[in-house]
A and B are shown apart, each in its own frame.
Chain A
Amino acid sequence: MAGSTLASPSVDPAAADEAARAGAVRPAAAFSPARDAWRRFRRHRLAVVSLGVLSIIAFAVVFGPFIWRLAINDIDFAAQLKPPSLAHPFGTDDLGQDILARLISGGRISLAVGLAAMVVAVLVGVLVGATAGMSRGHIDAGLMWLADLFLSLPQLPLLLLVIYLFRDSLKSIFGPEGGVFILIVAVIGGLRWMPVARLVRAQFLSLREKEFVEAARALGASRLRLVVHHILPNALGPVIVAGTIDVANAIIAESTLSFLGLGFPPDIPTWGRVLFDAKDYLDVAPYWALFPGSAIFLAVLSINFIGDGLRDALDPRRVM
């Protein structure tokens, strides 16, 4: 063990030694995998802190409106562009609207869109990548053709086409907000799975030839078991990174979409939207941009560390 680099900040050598012995063989069945995972997760201090931060943000956006009762669209020209104060802890924008209230209300959508779109992108990406990486020949070629096709599609006309084709029918089925939400998540997720798929496939190509996979295969493990238990956990690193980057991208992409008329109506202050609105006032009202910017940054940061913690927790080979 000595000289080996610690992959985790909080590993204490004694426990690690112990765990190494336990980890050399697969954990006994008596020992609940979920509890084991949670134990491993807790070891990752930053992940635990991040979980706390994300919970606070989630709590704020869900219950915030009941505590901070200012209306999000209360236009008050007397209070234009006021810096943070007791009345407006995050200041006001150019229409005198309270930025804190807007961020709380918009945060629900931003977080939900970010997470949901990430899940869609990662799920589709892992599914396609794993299938392609395990199969050879036509299926692999076909799936990678699909990925290439999606990579090549010019997004703007495609988005306009999607709005044109699906907006009204989705709106009538799921209501205006639900329909837009589904559309946005589908669009962002649907246009971002390709890197995940390519990464997973590349990892699979390499991993499936590794000794431990050979060994498992020789022991008669089924294909599914090979993928789920042996290869996938080892391919998760890039997937988690891609996942966190996707959350950030999705939050920002949502605001871009609203400029195409695809996003939520312009009066819904999602984080990306507030950040965009603030940009022309960056020199006189830096706080206007600071708060949404920090919100996105904090959310992405904590999701990333939670991802790191999850990987440690789910990776049985990890010494802890």
Chain B
Amino acid sequence: MSSDFLLRRLLIAIPSLLGISVVLFTVLALAPGDPFGELVTNPNVPAEVRLALRASLGLDDPIYLRYFRWLWAMLQGDWGFSFVSRMSVDRLILQRLPTTVAVIGASQILAIMVAIPVGVLAAAKPYSMFDQIANTFAFIGFSLPTFFTGLLLILVFSVQLDWLPIVYSTEVGGSGLTYIWNAVRQAIMPVTVLGLFQGASLVRYVRSSVLEVIKLDFVTTARSKGIGERKVLVLHVVRNALIPVVTLVALQMPIVFGGAIVTEQIFRVPGIGSLLISAMLANDTPVIMGVTFVFSCLVVLFNLLADILYGWLDPRIALR
């Protein structure tokens, strides 16, 4: 691991991001549909208006021209305008960034904070009562889709008990403590649903990789040296078991930006995921392009970070 390596990897990231952007743009341009769904069935809108709209958005130009136009603007920091709302794409994203970070970020953190200790403890005593319970929840967590768990929570906590609101709004009433309480209250269900879903698979991975490590010779050696079980677990096992976990977390972190489309839809969380899905349904190419491109930058960045972390977790890994 050297600064030379880091520099080289960062330099490689530029052409690879460019390549990704070309593919993204091509996929979006070729994908069927256009931004004027409802206009089509409205008998009062003349056909020439629809055609003029397409032309004014440049939808009839060749794909490579549209790509270079996008790239050139992007290089100058111009993210373009949404076809649908005519608002600039960076503004649309920024409007939704705080909510996304708050809700999805919180659920990611929750998932990691819960999954790692639970996974480690479950693996430390496999097939114990604790392990069985943890496993059952994990299986339920990823067998049931979020549209289902979300609805279940709504029925119990909003409809039956009337404790939590169904709708997540950025305009919660109140001030001071009331405001904070309102803001937290409405985030409980979406964060739980997402946290459970993401945490569930993570628990399984952590458990499995701790199990792999725990039986390796050096762990037995450490034990035979009389080091306490807890210390063995934390110092020797977890660090070595973290490689797959780091990989997974690196894979999941960009989701903070990509959003969680289904959960955002159920609770009406105005995050980037819901922006992305409505943009996709409306074929609003500049918005999809903006969001996915930032998303792919994060994917590349976090995977790079993971590579660097591997070296720290296991110094024998030498990436050149």
Number of A-B contacts (CB under 8 A): 173
On whether A161 and B27 interact (CB within 8 A), knowing A6-B126, A199-B247, the answer reads yes
Specify which chain A residues have a CB less than 8 angstroms from the CB of B223 in the assembled complex. 3-4
B124–A5 CB distance below 8 A: yes
B30–A161 CB distance below 8 A: yes
Closest chain B CB from A271 CB (angstroms): 10
Alpha-carbon distance A240/B201, docked complex (angstroms): 12
Closest chain B CB from A109 CB (angstroms): 17
Q: What secondary structure prevails in chain B residues at the interface with A? A: helix
Specify which chain A residues have a CB less than 8 angstroms from the CB of B127 in the assembled complex. 9
Closest chain A CB from B199 CB (angstroms): 12
B126–A296 CB distance below 8 A: no
Chain A residue with the shortest CB-CB distance to B240: A206
Specify which chain B residues have a CB less than 8 angstroms from the CB of A276 in the assembled complex. 145, 147
Q: Mark A252-278, 1 if CB is under 8 A from B, else 0.
A: 100100000000000000001001100
A-contacting residues, B273-299, CB 8 Å: 276-277, 280-281, 283, 288, 291-292, 295-296, 299
A5–B126 CB distance below 8 A: yes
Chain A residue with the shortest CB-CB distance to B150: A279
Closest chain A CB from B24 CB (angstroms): 7
A-contacting residues, B207-228, CB 8 Å: 208-209, 211-212, 214-215, 220, 223
The verdict on B143 contacting chain A, using a C-beta distance below 8 Å, is yes
Stretch at the interface among A27-35, A86-94, A148-156, A222-230: A148-156
Closest chain A CB from B154 CB (angstroms): 9
Among B143, B248, B314, the residue within 8 A (CB) of A248 is B143
Alpha-carbon distance A296/B139, docked complex (angstroms): 10
Chain B residue with the shortest CB-CB distance to A253: B145
Alpha-carbon distance A146/B214, docked complex (angstroms): 33
Chain B residue with the shortest CB-CB distance to A300: B143
On whether A152 and B31 interact (CB within 8 A), knowing A209-B316, A238-B244, the answer reads no
Specify which chain A residues have a CB less than 8 angstroms from the CB of B155 in the assembled complex. 282-283
Alpha-carbon distance A195/B248, docked complex (angstroms): 7
Chain A residue with the shortest CB-CB distance to B244: A238
Closest chain B CB from A316 CB (angstroms): 13
On whether A202 and B126 interact (CB within 8 A), knowing A149-B19, A283-B155, the answer reads no
Chain B residue with the shortest CB-CB distance to A255: B145
On whether A203 and B145 interact (CB within 8 A), knowing A153-B27, A154-B280, the answer reads no
A252–B243 CB distance below 8 A: no
A-contacting residues, B171-227, CB 8 Å: 201, 204-205, 208-209, 211-212, 214-215, 220, 223
Alpha-carbon distance A199/B241, docked complex (angstroms): 12
Among A152, A282, A317, the residue within 8 A (CB) of B20 is A152
The verdict on B10 contacting chain A, using a C-beta distance below 8 Å, is no
Alpha-carbon distance A106/B182, docked complex (angstroms): 43
Specify which chain B residues have a CB less than 8 angstroms from the CB of A153 in the assembled complex. 23-24, 27, 292
A300–B31 CB distance below 8 A: no
Closest chain B CB from A320 CB (angstroms): 11
Specify which chain A residues have a CB less than 8 angstroms from the CB of B16 in the assembled complex. 141, 145, 148
A148–B142 CB distance below 8 A: no
Specify which chain B residues have a CB less than 8 angstroms from the CB of A157 in the assembled complex. 27-28, 31, 280, 283, 288
B24–A152 CB distance below 8 A: yes
Shortest 8 CB-CB contacts between residues of A and residues of B: A152-B296, A157-B31, A209-B316, A9-B127, A297-B143, A237-B208, A156-B280, A161-B31
Interface on B for A, CB 8 Å cutoff? 12, 16, 19-20, 23-24, 27-28, 30-33, 124-127, 139-140, 142-145, 147-148, 151-152, 155, 159, 201, 204-205, 208-209, 211-212, 214-215, 220, 223, 243-244, 246-248, 250-251, 254, 276-277, 280-281, 283, 288, 291-292, 295-296, 299-300, 303, 306, 310, 314, 316-320
